[in-house]
Structure 1
Amino acid sequence: MGKYFGTDGFRGEANVVLTVEHAFLAGRYLGWYFGREHKARIVIGKDTRRSSYMFEYALASGLTASGADAYLLHVTTTPSVSYVVRTEDFDCGIMISASHNPFYDNGIKIINGQGHKMEAEVEEKIEDYIDGKIEELPLAIKENIGRTIDYAAGRNRYIGHLISLATRSFKDMKIGLDCANGSAFSIAKSVYDALGAKTYVINNDPDGTNINTNCGSTHIKVLQQFVKDNKLDVGFAFDGDADRCIAVDENGDVVNGDLILYICGKYLMEQGRLADNTIVTTVMSNLGLYKACDNIGMRYEQTAVGDKYVYENMLQNGYVLGGEQSGHIIFSKYAKTGDGILTSLMLMEVIMEKKQTLAHLSEEVKIYPQLLQNVRVTDKKTARENPAVIKAIGEVTEALGSDGRILVRESGTEPVLRVMVEAPADDICEKYVKQVVKVLEAEKLVAEA
């Protein structure tokens, strides 16, 4: 990871970690980089945070000052930017969002011309320019100065694309949508209304400061209660930029990313549409998912945590379905990144085609209790490679056998070791997490509070 750009863009508190100067300079570099041989065309989307407007104008100013034309999608989802970039011949796309973070954070995600996350070497060059390590770039003059162009039509084409993917009408289906007061508010209801659903929508009144606040995929209890109170057939919750989806079945129970992978993977496998009968997961996927996959002969691969790594594996091996427990699911036939609304439509396809409820479709997976404890340490690598810690992890692994697992990994963004145990019961999880944490403490590897 770079100085500013992590696995999911340049993210932090607006005007504290991520400033308008950063955005302007990022725009300047991208406008110059893609405009060396032709007039660059770069599309910008944003979520509903108050600071998103500020960053949109700063980026557009930087792009046009370098001679690029900036096309503004306005409030839209991250996957819509990816779709527009790759289908309408843009040089790159920029999404202004901090995803599921609180409203006061924001971020800049850069998407390359193929709709994937931008290559690390380009992000490194942007960082060098921000830090003054690259000589000043020329400003465009006269007729070479770029323009800003209203491009809401691009978002509308994306809505049409989503509608076209549905295999059946959703007539008479009562569907709940939690739009997290974020990007989905301008798209999700339009899609479900067009497909004939009886659409019940909550948290679709953004005011700039309520995005992700007690709503959306990270606060799923709100939708659970809504589905039960209104006797809905299914509910879908999105995050701030709508690249994630968590579902709720007709009983109000949560259907997370692991369950979605199983349901959609099994359906695609039955239809002969799951490449090599394999789904791509991360190391944080639940043991229950793997046991259920084994029972039906569905194979799986594991990657490091992060949709970036999931997609890299899918691209390298030609797999069509992968994702994370968090609801970040990639259907590579239709998208190059996680797409929450698309995920909900794919899940609806299974429900409609198999004529089964979501609760019934997910009942084959027994989710194991999981406990995760973040331990702040003095040095991540030293702590992870400590012989006593390695021995303790081995002892827990042996004790759990095939009925559970332990995973100890370094955080990618904090001085933290994440200790996770899955087992048949909560008390067993707690017992073995404590066992490893005590060793970290005894070895004096834990940082002082």
Structure 2
Amino acid sequence: MPKYFGTDGIRGIPFDFPLEPEFIKKIGYSIAKKLKKSRKSVFIARDTRESGEKITDLLAQGIVKHSIDVIDLGVITTPSFSYILSKNNVSFGIMVSASHNPPEFNGIKVLNHKGEKISEETEEEIEKIIDTTKNLDYGKANIKKLDLMGLYIDYVHSLFNGILKDKKIVVDCSNGASYKIAPEIFKKTGARFYLIGDKPNGKNINVGCGALETNKMREMVKEKNAFCGISYDGDSDRCIISDENGNIIDGDDVISFLSVCYKKNNLLNNNTVVLTHMSNYGVFEFLKTNGIKVLSVDVGDRNVSHTMDRNKAVIGGEPSGHIIIKKYLPTGDGIITSLEFLSCVIKSGIKVSDVKKIWRRFPSNLRSYRVSSKPDIKALKGFDKKIKEIEKEINGRIFIRYSGTEPVIRILIEADKDLDYLNKLSEEIFSFYLNLTQKSLSNKGSLKKYI
């Protein structure tokens, strides 16, 4: 297991460890040492966080020690960055972003020259270089700037030109990386769209808007009598959709609908869909009933992507709205996912709200609690046995994991029970977890709900 990299890059609060200035330089140096090829240039891009430019400069100071040119693509989305990397002859790319996290966070995501997330094994090799590299003298980096946003806009335009003609759509850019790209793309779809979250100031990314805070978008959908609404997260690798009534369409809904549409049109490669353990149990049952093979993996788009590659699957993703459609890109793309979904809805002649009627969702309670450390859950004596006893008692499913990007533990409970009951049960499970960790590690977590 990597010790600096989480499920999606290295994250933290600038400029505290692991995002201390000198350590960032060492990260840049180590990434370049591992991934440098005969190609003598690399791309760096970022979202709208105020710390992004400084982190870019610090990374560049480490990279140029290998006589590699650093080219800054500015503020663009992670998926567009992935596409641009795949079309240019560079060694690798670094996306400076903390995705859906609050503005006080930032992160470092590493992609290979094909635009793919690097493997866990590669991350571990980079970490070995970090740990064995002594302090170096870093000088000022000469960073070139280049605007390649149009490459991605033209690509998406070629896929979805005119599909939303005269449809009223609310588009929430989360004050993030999509604030320039999304409007240009939606112009080309023919939609009549209303923008929110399109005025970033470096401190407001994901604040009161975006894929985790959809209330403003959903209210505007009802106010404008719109066909639907879409909220992207900070780097636009995920989306959450609202139907015409202001009700949420999440990743499970999108995957369920697209999967049966693909199968009907002979587009579901290998008749296989990849989900994570966080998907609602009802999705698994629905897809199996429709004769679709379902593979379940640990949380993280990289796990989904690699499993899709091994099984030649065309679609996979998470309930968070992080969905990968391999025929378009090797990584999740909120913009492409939302347009593909709406294209299929329109071709099917239905309303967006009809999508929620095709499968039965099991009552679900997902809570996240802040913790001060992350001891191995499997090593907590009696914890696994207790969870299995509760699952049997409620005739349901419980899934517990640490976040790979935040200091929280997530508890997901699914059972045909009242939501108040599930909420209370979640807190009881967390209290039991705390008692065990305090005995073994003097853990000082609290019952405070984090997100």
Per the normalisation by structure 1, the TM-score is 0.89
User: How far does residue 428 in structure 1 lie from its aligned partner after superposition?
Assistant: 4.1
Describe the shift of the 1:135–1:57 C-alpha distance in structure 2 as closer, same or farther (beyond 3 A): closer
Structure 2 residue aligned with 1:266, among 230, 250, 260? 260
CA distance in 2: counterparts of 1:127 and 1:383, whole angstroms: 25
Structure 2 residue aligned with 1:224, among 218, 223, 227? 218
Describe the shift of the 1:310–1:27 C-alpha distance in structure 2 as closer, same or farther (beyond 3 A): same
Contact kept in structure 2, 1:69 and 1:146, CA below 8 Å: no
Residue type at the aligned position of 1:426:
L
* Count of aligned residue pairs for this structure pair: 439
Describe the shift of the 1:194–1:298 C-alpha distance in structure 2 as closer, same or farther (beyond 3 A): same
Tell me the residue number matched to 1:312. Answer: 306
Tell me the residue number matched to 2:146. Answer: 151
Contact kept in structure 1, 2:374 and 2:402, CA below 8 Å: no
CA distance in 2: counterparts of 1:364 and 1:55, whole angstroms: 45
Question: What whole-Å deviation, never above 9, does each CA across 1:180-203 have from its counterpart, x for those lacking one?
Answer: 000010101100101211111111
Contact kept in structure 1, 2:162 and 2:188, CA below 8 Å: no
Tell me the residue number matched to 1:107. Answer: 107
Residue type at the aligned position of 1:100:
H
1:423 equivalent to 2:415? Answer: yes
Contact kept in structure 1, 2:230 and 2:241, CA below 8 Å: yes
Contact kept in structure 1, 2:210 and 2:231, CA below 8 Å: yes
The answer for unaligned runs of 5 or more in structure 1 is none
Structure 2 residue aligned with 1:405, among 360, 384, 397? 397
Residue type at the aligned position of 2:146:
Y
Structure 2 residue aligned with 1:197, among 191, 197, 211? 191
User: How far does residue 23 in structure 1 lie from its aligned partner after superposition?
Assistant: 2.9
Which aligned segments of 4 or more residues in structure 1 are displaced greater than 6 angstroms? 136-140, 413-416
Question: What whole-Å deviation, never above 9, does each CA across 1:16-59 have from its counterpart, x for those lacking one?
Answer: 23133233233333444455x63522111111111111112222
Residue type at the aligned position of 2:257:
I
Describe the shift of the 1:377–1:25 C-alpha distance in structure 2 as closer, same or farther (beyond 3 A): closer
Q: Map of 1:11-22 to 2, 5 A cutoff?
A: 11-17=11-17, 18-22=19-23
CA distance in 2: counterparts of 1:431 and 1:61, whole angstroms: 50
Q: Map of 1:212-361 to 2, 5 A cutoff?
A: 212-361=206-355
Tell me the residue number matched to 1:120. Answer: 120
CA distance in 2: counterparts of 1:43 and 1:155, whole angstroms: 13
Tell me the residue number matched to 2:96. Answer: 96
User: How far does residue 127 in structure 1 lie from its aligned partner after superposition?
Assistant: 3.4
CA distance in 1: counterparts of 2:392 and 2:31, whole angstroms: 52
Structure 2 residue aligned with 1:368, among 351, 358, 362? 362
Residue type at the aligned position of 1:419:
I
Contact kept in structure 1, 2:315 and 2:325, CA below 8 Å: yes
User: How far does residue 167 in structure 1 lie from its aligned partner after superposition?
Assistant: 6.5
CA distance in 2: counterparts of 1:440 and 1:44, whole angstroms: 41
CA distance in 1: counterparts of 2:81 and 2:102, whole angstroms: 21
After alignment, is 278-287 or 176-185 more displaced?
Answer: 278-287
CA distance in 2: counterparts of 1:288 and 1:184, whole angstroms: 32
Identity, in percent, stands at 34
User: How far does residue 63 in structure 1 lie from its aligned partner after superposition?
Assistant: 2.6
Describe the shift of the 1:418–1:147 C-alpha distance in structure 2 as closer, same or farther (beyond 3 A): closer
CA distance in 2: counterparts of 1:408 and 1:440, whole angstroms: 10
Contact kept in structure 2, 1:97 and 1:241, CA below 8 Å: yes
SS of 1:80's partner is helix
Describe the shift of the 1:235–1:301 C-alpha distance in structure 2 as closer, same or farther (beyond 3 A): same
Contact kept in structure 1, 2:61 and 2:138, CA below 8 Å: no
Residue type at the aligned position of 1:280:
V
RMSD of the TM alignment (CA)?
A: 2.7
Contact kept in structure 1, 2:253 and 2:355, CA below 8 Å: no
Describe the shift of the 1:433–1:90 C-alpha distance in structure 2 as closer, same or farther (beyond 3 A): same
CA distance in 2: counterparts of 1:289 and 1:122, whole angstroms: 33
The answer for unaligned runs of 5 or more in structure 2 is 447-451
Describe the shift of the 1:179–1:333 C-alpha distance in structure 2 as closer, same or farther (beyond 3 A): same
Describe the shift of the 1:120–1:437 C-alpha distance in structure 2 as closer, same or farther (beyond 3 A): closer
1:66 equivalent to 2:66? Answer: yes
Contact kept in structure 2, 1:168 and 1:349, CA below 8 Å: no
CA distance in 1: counterparts of 2:20 and 2:190, whole angstroms: 43
User: How far does residue 435 in structure 1 lie from its aligned partner after superposition?
Assistant: 5.7
Contact kept in structure 1, 2:380 and 2:437, CA below 8 Å: no
SS of 1:61's partner is helix
Q: Map of 1:134-213 to 2, 5 A cutoff?
A: 134=133, 148-152=143-147, 154-166=148-160, 168-213=162-207
Describe the shift of the 1:273–1:434 C-alpha distance in structure 2 as closer, same or farther (beyond 3 A): same
SS of 2:230's partner is strand
